[in-house]
Structure 1
Amino acid sequence: MSNPYEKPQIIAHIQKSLNYTVFDSKWIPCSAKFVCMGSLARGAGVLQLYEIQRGEVHLLKEIEKAKPIKCGTFGATSLQQRHIATGDFDGNLSVWNLEAPAVPVYSVKAHKEIVNSIDGVGGLGIGDGAPEIVTGSRDGTVKVWDPRQKDSPVANMEPVDGEAKRDCWTVAFGHAFNDQDRCVCAGYDNGDIKLFDLRNMSLRWEKNIKNGVCCVEFDRKDISMNKLVATSLEGKFHVFDMRTQHPTKGFASVSEKAHKSTVWQVRHLPQNRDVFMTTGGAGSLHLWKYEYPAQRCKKDADDVDMGVAGTVTLLQNVTLSTQPIASLDWSPDKQGLCLCSAFDQSVRVLIVTKINTFM
């Protein structure tokens, strides 16, 4: 039993000021290193490689690129290579070897406009099947790429004829528990959430949450779909139970007013998929725990299975900045270690204590 008074604490362990706008930051798997990505004042892109040594961060390498870099992922690489895939303001998808970053190991003009979001699966030993990268763009399309195949995407989800083009703000892989199944979830500026089944190349489910969808994430990629969190422009997030899909009502969900402003990101704790952190437009972080209901499935009046939503509990919150926290990444290796970057041009290494109390 956990002690209800023994709350986890969110401690800003290290803070580093940067001289550029940082859009994303990611831990390099199996290391004490991380990468920051963003835009220099003169409009060029930048990748910076840092290492934590004795409680301080040290710059190991700075790589300048032609276009600002919006987002990055290690999700489709091997633990041996640890190549990062990035999306930039010009619509390019590039994969970089950080040991020799002058020329990308893979590059494609993925979209006509900015790549807003990127995710990877099939790498790092997470999820079965091919290593794939998904990109979502302002041009309204969501594309899936296999870096082993050169120029064309393996899947392209675009608006059908006559349908308005919507700005895709966020994409995430899920349901990659065998080498056949895989889903992509995408969120759009008008509040649409779309779930694409990549095996059948079909739209499996869609929902509108009435406000721009800033971030979507499955609690884990390498299992049969379990939960999905979607955050919004209006300060709310929604947790969908993805185990039972009702033919008309879809997935059961619970929503929570989380922040006073936009909820920019959600990231699940790798070591416990029921704990997750949300980041806010006013510089705040909120740590949450999802509790399952006594029964996750029940029969409706017509004897058809429908899901039952659980509840969410706020474990802790802290305000770190006056500016939005635009990115957050849990360490896959050290439980409770966390990395976030904000529009105050800084990156912070955080420690969340007593997190295993809530396992």
Structure 2
Amino acid sequence: VQFISFLVDFCSFAGNQSPPFEMSSPLSKPQVIAHIQKSLNYTVFDSKWIPCSAKFVCLGNFPRGTGVIQIYELQHGEAQLIKEVEKPKPLKCGTFGATSLQQRHLATGDFDGNLNIWNLESPEVPVYTAKAHKEIVNSIDGVGGLGIGDGAPEIVTGSRDGTVKVWDPRQKDLPVANMEPVEGETKRDCWTVAFGHAFNDEDRCVCAGYDNGDIKLFDLRNMSLRWETNIKNGVCCVEFDRKDIDMNKLVATSLEGKFHVFDMRTQHPVKGFASVSEKVSNLGKDFDSNYGKNHKSSL
């Protein structure tokens, strides 16, 4: 009887109190906690984890106008610089997507339109080089390497010159595909490229985003434009949820802090792929208000 009376009193007390184990406000929201911070004396344009290692590479340019590749390794809670190589031209972007796990070669695009592939064990001289574009290479992606995606290893580059080109590292100088505006059409600045739909040896697609809000999906098997749309603001980044499956989801982020998710398996003959768009600052109470404020300009 005393035990039951205690439970009744406790429940009555608890009913008039706030939950004793309620999470504090800061912990109830998603957080990104900085593990390591390091100040650098140059502008970083891209960084990538080196596959199957505790190392990462940073690409950028020095104030004097030259490029730099830095390799860091995580040691005892710190990022230790283990190698630095200066290059004649600033480096804009890089990918490991077309290399094997054994070689782990890094492909980069620079401000002069060059495509280079580097052996990070001896990065002084590229193992592959090509004059890919007339202007800066804004974006690069790879497929067929690291055990991701069927078919030959390939690299795609997008440039300010308005072209999107696909490269086979086994073929020197010439791209295997070149997507450019028809004669007389305005050349738009291509900001981002991504591979997808590489689920067998024959099928493969490239998605490209442009400064005017255009998104174009190129079918490399049929060498045709499969689909296009416009999201009104410059497209900062496009990415498939997975490269090595039949196209499923495509996300595109843009200026004004917006993102768009397309269902690539639900296509209307007139309206195109089903999609949803949202502004980061409108995602609701589950996100820190400061997070939305930090992304009003671009994503």
TM-score by length of 1: 0.72
Q: What is the rounded CA distance, in whole Å, between the counterparts of 1:313 and 1:226 in structure 2? A: 26
The change in CA–CA distance for 1:70 and 1:181 in structure 2 (over 3 A counts) is: same
Q: Give the conservation status (yes or no) of the 8 Å contact 1:10–1:316.
A: no
State the match for 1:68 in structure 2: 90
Query: In the alignment, does 2:232 pair up with 1:207?
Result: no
Query: 1:307-350 deviations in whole A, cap 9, x for unaligned?
Result: xxxxx888655969x998xxx9xxxxxxxxxxxxxxxxxxxxxx
Q: 1:229 aligns with which of 251, 255, 260?
A: 251
Query: In the alignment, does 2:208 pair up with 1:156?
Result: no
* Greater C-alpha Rg: 2
State the match for 1:166 in structure 2: 188
Q: 1:104 aligns with which of 114, 126, 135?
A: 126
State the match for 2:53 in structure 1: 31
Q: Give the conservation status (yes or no) of the 8 Å contact 2:281–2:289.
A: no
Identity %: 82
Q: 1:48 aligns with which of 27, 47, 70?
A: 70
Query: 1:153-211 deviations in whole A, cap 9, x for unaligned?
Result: 00000001221110000000000011100000000011000000000000000000111
Query: In the alignment, does 2:116 pair up with 1:94?
Result: yes
TM-aligned CA deviation for residue 246 of structure 1: 1.7
Q: 2:218 aligns with which of 196, 199, 208?
A: 196
Q: What is the rounded CA distance, in whole Å, between the counterparts of 1:25 and 1:194 in structure 2? A: 26
Q: What is the rounded CA distance, in whole Å, between the counterparts of 1:12 and 1:136 in structure 2? A: 31
Q: What is the rounded CA distance, in whole Å, between the counterparts of 1:165 and 1:95 in structure 2? A: 27
State the match for 1:22 in structure 2: 44
Q: Which moved more, 1:4-13 or 1:67-76?
A: 4-13
State the match for 2:149 in structure 1: 127
TM-aligned CA deviation for residue 102 of structure 1: 1.2
Q: What is the rounded CA distance, in whole Å, between the counterparts of 1:111 and 1:92 in structure 2? A: 7
Q: 1:243 aligns with which of 248, 265, 277?
A: 265
Count residues in correspondence. Answer: 271
Structure in which a larger fraction of residues adopt strand? 1
Q: Give the conservation status (yes or no) of the 8 Å contact 1:46–1:68.
A: yes
Question: Alpha carbon RMSD of aligned pairs, Å?
Answer: 2.3
Q: Any stretches of 5+ residues in structure 1 without a counterpart?
A: 261-311, 329-359
TM-aligned CA deviation for residue 9 of structure 1: 3.0
Q: Any stretches of 5+ residues in structure 2 without a counterpart?
A: 1-22
Q: What is the rounded CA distance, in whole Å, between the counterparts of 1:137 and 1:110 in structure 2? A: 9
Output the amino acid matched with 1:240. F
Structure in which a larger fraction of residues adopt helix? 2
Q: Give the conservation status (yes or no) of the 8 Å contact 1:172–1:186.
A: yes
The change in CA–CA distance for 1:170 and 1:101 in structure 2 (over 3 A counts) is: same
Q: 1:12 aligns with which of 18, 34, 40?
A: 34
